[in-house]
A and B are shown apart, each in its own frame.
Chain A
Amino acid sequence: EEWPVDETKRGRDLGAYLRQRVAQAFREGENTQVAEPEACDQMYESLARLHSNYYKHKYPRPRDTSFSGLSLEEYKLILSTDTLEELKEIDKGMWKKLQEKFAPKGPEEDHKA
């Protein structure tokens, strides 16, 4: 499966789960007897459509907005497993440290742009 693994969400990633499921379902490799071939094909087609971004293209939005208003990179940072583990240990000053994480990104962003 070509589904990419999101390394920032170790332990909670759908991609990793899918690989595990496929490996388990086809334990015997090419010789595996598929119990329900039709359902298997439908599942494969579902995954293929999701992988090819079918619905993102089908339902385009005039403006890509969200509720909390962060950028995509910031979401990945906040929601990554490592960050969540660090947050778990922080009792006070949590938001300050989060903002400190964002601050060094400034020059990096400027460099990219």
Chain B
Amino acid sequence: MALLVRVLRNQTSISQWVPVCSRLIPVSPTQGQGDRALSRTSQWPQMSQSRACGGSEQIPGIDIQLNRKYHTTRKLSTTKDSPQPVEEKVGAFTKIIEAMGFTGPLKYSKWKIKIAALRMYTSCVEKTDFEEFFLRCQMPDTFNSWFLITLLHVWMCLVRMKQEGRSGKYMCRIIVHFMWEDVQQRGRVMGVNPYILKKNMILMTNHFYAAILGYDEGILSDDHGLAAALWRTFFNRKCEDPRHLELLVEYVRKQIQYLDSMNGEDLLLTGEVSWRPLVEKNPQSILKPHSPTYNDEGL
């Protein structure tokens, strides 16, 4: 019960955050017209939403639907990739529960994971130097830019926590939930009309799904693929300087490796994440390079 109170208190603190951007440019005209990828993935979340519970349960419902679909697909990929780490053995009852979209018993308390997830999301929005991104990447100081930068960092956290088994999956869902709560709250604080805010939330949700898939493809690809994904999503195909693109590719590569080097148990229990600077003199790899195992038959 005390933990629940702490969680609620932490959630309350979200509303006290001050938005980073100075003004809101409507997302609709930019995304609706410019980004073709966005409009073409518009059906996915709507399908999920139609199945989810209504009202305040909508966002968690989306996560549940999303989790179920990807969980199904993940079985296939697990079968293919033999080097995959052996997943923890779960009973038949837990499997049934998870198949229905709920979370079975975890090795840690759900409340601990929730607190850690909130702390991890806070790291994405508080420990990130947005001004540096605006300056270095030539991005306008807008709500959408804030969202793109936050989205990139949240995705990197999701990639890392996905490696921690079922507890990590649960934490991913909570992180995403907190992100949407925060986006909505920041919109309200800026005085956005509720109807417009709702419409833009749908657009941002579509953008979120498209970005997640694009970044996932990019991180598994070579630098070509990652550069293309960042160019399409992060820069919205408006980056004209390859140096900015290179800066982001290096940032993502070194950040993902840095997160990989953190202890999984610590991340699950504390959620403390730190970020290496965007611009760094002589950035060094933590691990010694070894022969790449990437198979580029597809290229």
Contact = CB atoms under 8 A, between A and B. Distances in A.
Chains A and B bind each other: yes
Interface of A: 3-4, 6, 9, 11-15, 17-18, 21, 42-43, 46-47, 49-76, 78-79, 81, 84-85, 87-88, 90-92, 94-95, 102, 109
A1 B118 CA distance: 45
A94 B212 CA distance: 19
Contact of A84 (B40, B163, B228, B299): B40
Interface in B234-285: 237, 240-243, 245-246, 249-250, 253-254, 256-257, 260, 285
B224 A3 contact: yes
A65 B77 CA distance: 11
B42 interface: yes
B289 A47 contact: no
A50 B221 CA distance: 12
A71 B77 CA distance: 6
A9 B163 CA distance: 29
B283 to A, nearest CB: 8
Contact of B294 (A50, A64, A79): A64
Contacts of B70: 68-70
Contacts of B39: 88
Given A68-B212, A75-B220, A95-B69, A43 B260 contact: no
Interface string B208-232: 0000111111011111101110011
Given A49-B223, A102-B76, 11 more contacts: A43-B242, A60-B287, A63-B83, A66-B159, A66-B217, A66-B219, A67-B162, A71-B77, A75-B216, A79-B213, A79-B217
Given A12-B232, A46-B245, A91-B43, A61 B260 contact: yes
Contact of A14 (B36, B228, B253): B228
B45 to A, nearest CB: 11
Given A9-B228, A58-B289, A66 B162 contact: yes
B41 interface: yes
Question: Which one of A3, A56, A84 has the highest number of Cβ atoms from chain B below 10 Å of its Cβ?
Answer: A56
The 8 A-B residue pairs whose C-beta atoms are closest, nearest first, are A84-B40, A75-B217, A66-B216, A14-B228, A46-B246, A69-B74, A59-B253, A46-B242
